[in-house]
Structure 1
Amino acid sequence: MSDIVQRETVRRDAARGEIAPRAVAIQPGTAEPGSVRVRAYSGGVLVADADPPLLVWEHRFYPQYFFAPAELRAGLRPAGPGRRSRSLGPSELFDVVVPDGAAGERVLPGAAQRYPQAPLAALRDAVTLDWSALDTWLAEEEVIHTHARDPYVRVDAMPSNRHVRVVAGGEVVAESRRPVVLVQSGQPPRYYLPQVDVRMDLLTPTDTVSYCAYKGTAAYWTVRVGDLRLRDVVWGYDTPLREGLRIAGMVCFWQEKNPDLEVWVDGERVGRS
């Protein structure tokens, strides 16, 4: 399957003295074989099972799983044209028909998509499934959240003794010498602080949540200092996934979101907006 691999490796440019910010840059339209078995379920019924599926980067942020026709355990019914992809071309939509015992069948409208004119011939008969239309995704026996995992993304959470100080409106909101530094490929380092080192009385929970395939579901807070309101500049994971277990119950300040939020690490301000 080497003919479907289109990976661009970015190396140090010795002549210009530049160092690539990321060792591997995945270009939209790239496809390569996965490395683990992936299954998708709806209501406990197996819909797709591939060992492994194709990983396809329609965009640069993360891959999607593509399944060959023989890897589908549910039926497909044409549902008209879908959107056009810049990297994969026009698409066709299909309803996914799931066997449902005595009820006969359930239909997941427009939950499958195919790109019959994709530049790579190996993709033209394969389909990708709408992530949210399926209720359970497994990589081997581990549940996958939010979207397919990128094999080139690494997440490390490391205890540190750096001095982290957070200031808003001239007031110290947090100060700690025991942060956990979380480093995720392609992202700046994030400093998670124990809540006992944070003025939690200055933080108000909001109804905002976000989802990460590697860390889980995050809740957010607004910083309130006097008349200053900095909405959703703090987040944290109460029950993170395995890569983020060390940051459970800690909070992180999003310094790039608002210039009135200052995060200082060992005396140097980081992440200016």
Structure 2
Amino acid sequence: MIRPQRIEPGPGQESVWDYPRPPRLEETNKHIQVIFNRVTIADTHRAKRVLETSHPPSYYIPPEDIKMEYLIQSPQSSFCEWKGNADYYTVRVGEKQAQNSAWYYPNPTPAFASIKDHVAFYAHLMDACYVNGEKVQPQPGNFYGGWVTSDIVGPFKGGLGSWGW
């Protein structure tokens, strides 16, 4: 396995290569917003973020800070070795929808119990996602759900040639 060359973080930046494995869960008071079809469907200062080696943070938003009427339960599911079984939502606002564009853990593992029912969104399927007013870039590859901002440096898992990391 070839480990990629770590980008040295500048002042105020974090390197995803300094994040732990297994991942760490932490609270954040950063302003998180999710926009879909011109509607702000999530807006919070109470998100939790998951930090894992080589991945930009995934943000989990409490359901109380989401307009849940726009989320429709999906039959999609997946498994994370750290967090457990995930269920998915399709986001629909008006005539526009994004299938399987958000996920949550109804019964997470004990280490991640505090994200129970919190929802994470794939940035590439939303119109825009913001962290403290900065529009995020989706984690490369459209498989993982990390959000890339200017204060996070990689390289990031998910991009071309990164599957062997």
> Considering the TM-score relative to the shorter chain, is it more than 0.5?
yes
Q: 2:50 aligns with which of 182, 189, 200?
A: 182
Question: Aligned pair in 2 of structure 1 residues 10, 229: CA closer, same or farther (>3 Å)?
Answer: closer
Structure 1 residue 262: deviation in Å? Answer: 1.4
Aligned to 1:213: 81
Percent of aligned pairs sharing the same letter: 27
SS at match of 1:22: helix
Residue 22 (structure 1) aligned with residue 35 (structure 2): no
Matches within 5 A, 1:28-177: 153-177=21-45
Are 1:173 and 1:198, in contact at CA under 8 Å, matched by a contact in 2? yes
Distance 2:91 2:3 in 1: 41
Q: Which runs of 5+ in 1 are unaligned?
A: 1-6, 13-17, 24-151
Structure 1 residue 254: deviation in Å? Answer: 1.0
- RCO greater where, 1 or 2, for CA within 8 Å and sep 6 or more? 2
SS at match of 2:79: strand
Residue 267 (structure 1) aligned with residue 133 (structure 2): yes
Q: Which runs of 5+ in 2 are unaligned?
A: 9-14, 143-165
Are 1:10 and 1:22, in contact at CA under 8 Å, matched by a contact in 2? no
Question: Aligned pair in 2 of structure 1 residues 21, 166: CA closer, same or farther (>3 Å)?
Answer: closer
Equivalent residue letter for 1:264: Y
Distance 1:213 1:229 in 2: 29
Are 1:216 and 1:241, in contact at CA under 8 Å, matched by a contact in 2? yes
Structure 1 residue 176: deviation in Å? Answer: 0.5
Structure 1 runs of 4+ with >2 Å offset: 7-12, 18-23
Equivalent residue letter for 1:270: V
Distance 1:8 1:167 in 2: 37
Structure 1 residue 270: deviation in Å? Answer: 0.9
Count of aligned positions: 132
Matches within 5 A, 1:189-228: 189-228=57-96
Based on CA coordinates, which of the two structures has the bigger radius of gyration? 1
Question: Aligned pair in 2 of structure 1 residues 190, 21: CA closer, same or farther (>3 Å)?
Answer: closer
Equivalent residue letter for 2:74: T
Distance 2:71 2:129 in 1: 16
How does the TM-score come out when normalised to structure 2? 0.72
Structure 1 residue 154: deviation in Å? Answer: 2.3
Distance 1:212 1:164 in 2: 23
How does the TM-score come out when normalised to structure 1? 0.45
Aligned to 2:107: 239
Structure 1 residue 21: deviation in Å? Answer: 5.7
